[in-house]
């Protein structure tokens, strides 16, 4: 019996396969437990083949974070700009776009939370921090716009509102990862954002 011929892919295509394999495996278990052997098996190549496309296991995870950074921010920026009547509606769209991203790629928050827990600075932790910084900037810009549009109560501190927004998303994600109920994220996200938005709006006077 003649063994099937393995299709040879370009380096960038094989790298993309390995990135997606890493994301899928990270959705099921801790990224620290995933070996290059696991990745090789997932896409049907040898372990040596993995190192023909990436220098080390660390460079694979760096590529994963870079992919997540680009993909997530592109989705969030698109959500913020797509036919939103005001800045608070844009914030809601961004919130839900992030929730939808996590539902699709639960391995990303597992990797992010793992790296942020490290006490020492590492290349991977630095990349994660850059992602968080860009995320924080986008939310701050939308809150500034909301204030300019007269949508925020005078006592709302924008910097604290950014922290609360990010904390709300992270809390939902951590809860879903602990319970394993990712399907509930969207409905819970809508309810949580309603509470968040209520704290931003000017109070109605009788």
Q: Which residue has the higher pLDDT, 8 or 132?
A: 132
Q: Is the pLDDT of residue 91 over 50?
A: yes
**What's the average model confidence in pLDDT over 171-187?**
85
d(Cα 66, Cα 179) in Å, to the nearest integer?
28
**Confidence category of residue 202, pLDDT binned at 50, 70, 90:** very high
Can you list the domains of the chain with their CATH numbers? 8-54 (1.10.10), 55-198 (1.10.357.10)
Instruction: Output the 3-class SS for 13-42.
Output: HHHHHHHHHHHHHHCCCCHHHCCHHHHHHH
Q: Is the pLDDT of residue 5 over 80?
A: no
Q: Which of 5-9, 74-78, 95-99 has the lowest mean pLDDT?
A: 5-9
Q: Is the pLDDT of residue 84 over 90?
A: no
pLDDT in the model for residue 1: 38
Q: What is the pLDDT of residues 94-144, one digit of tens each?
A: 999 999 999 999 999 999 998 888 888 999 999 999 999 999 999 999 999
d(Cα 48, Cα 109) in Å, to the nearest integer?
28
pLDDT in the model for residue 191: 94
pTM to 2 decimals?
Answer: 0.89
d(Cα 49, Cα 70) in Å, to the nearest integer?
26
């Amino acid at each position: 019996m003649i063994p099937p011929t393995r299709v040879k892919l370009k380096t960038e295509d094989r790298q993309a396969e390995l990135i997606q394999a890493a994301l899928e495996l990270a959705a099921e278990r801790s990224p620290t437990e995933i070996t290059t052997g696991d990745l090789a098996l997932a896409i049907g190549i040898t372990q040596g083949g993995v190192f023909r496309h990436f220098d080390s296991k660390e460079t694979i995870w760096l590529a994963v974070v870079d992919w997540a950074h680009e993909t997530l921010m592109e989705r969030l920026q698109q959500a913020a700009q797509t036919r939103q009547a005001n800045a608070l509606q844009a914030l809601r769209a961004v919130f839900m776009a992030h929730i939808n991203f996590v539902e699709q790629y639960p391995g990303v928050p597992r990797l992010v939370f793992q790296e942020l827990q490290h006490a020492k600075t590492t290349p991977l932790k630095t990349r994660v921090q850059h992602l968080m910084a860009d995320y924080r900037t986008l939310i701050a810009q939308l809150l500034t716009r909301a204030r300019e549009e007269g949508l925020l109560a005078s006592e709302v501190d924008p910097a604290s509102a950014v922290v609360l927004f990010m904390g709300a998303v992270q809390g939902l994600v951590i809860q879903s990862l602990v319970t394993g109920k990712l399907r509930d994220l969207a409905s819970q996200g809508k309810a949580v954002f309603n509470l968040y938005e209520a704290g931003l709006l000017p109070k109605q006077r009788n």
